[in-house]
Amino acid sequence: MGRGNMGSVDFTGGFMDAVTAQKYKHRLVVERDALLAQIDAQRGGPISRADAASEALDKSEDDNAQIQSGRDVAFAINEHETAELLDIDVSLQRIKAGVYGLCVNCGTHIPAVRLDAAPHTQRCVTCQTTFEQAQSDGRRP
């Protein structure tokens, strides 16, 4: 089955059925493993953020502006990847708890097409839009 096409999901009668939840769990684990491998490759191996920062500072042949720019880009990428890993882990926990596929804000079912596109999503479209607007305004949703 293709990555973006999990088929239709029947949410009628309550929570997601176990077979469908298992399919999403498998996909989330695969995405998590791929993201961890990508992070390792970008860092030149499985090293910590502190080691990566130290390595960037040790490159004394580069000028300060170049070092700072490279470090800022690396940290921005790492923050995005860290947030995505957190979302995946939360989704895996929600599968285990039996509440995966329900919006964390309003409790409505997240449409299957949305979960197929982004299985680590935590919110319905309406709540995600509100969340993103609040973040861009610098306030908590």
Domain boundaries, the chain: 17-100, 101-141
Find all residues with CB under 8 Å of 5, minimum gap 6, and list them. Answer: 116
* Residue 4: predicted pLDDT: 38
* Residue 112: predicted pLDDT: 92
pTM above the 0.75 mark?
no
23-82 residue pLDDT tens: 999 999 999 999 888 877 776 665 555 565 555 555 544 566 555 555 555 555 677 888
Phi first, then psi, for residue 93 (nearest 5°) are -65, -40
Between 49 and 21, the more confident residue is: 21
> What are 109's strand-pairing partners?
102
119-136 residue pLDDT tens: 999 999 999 999 999 988
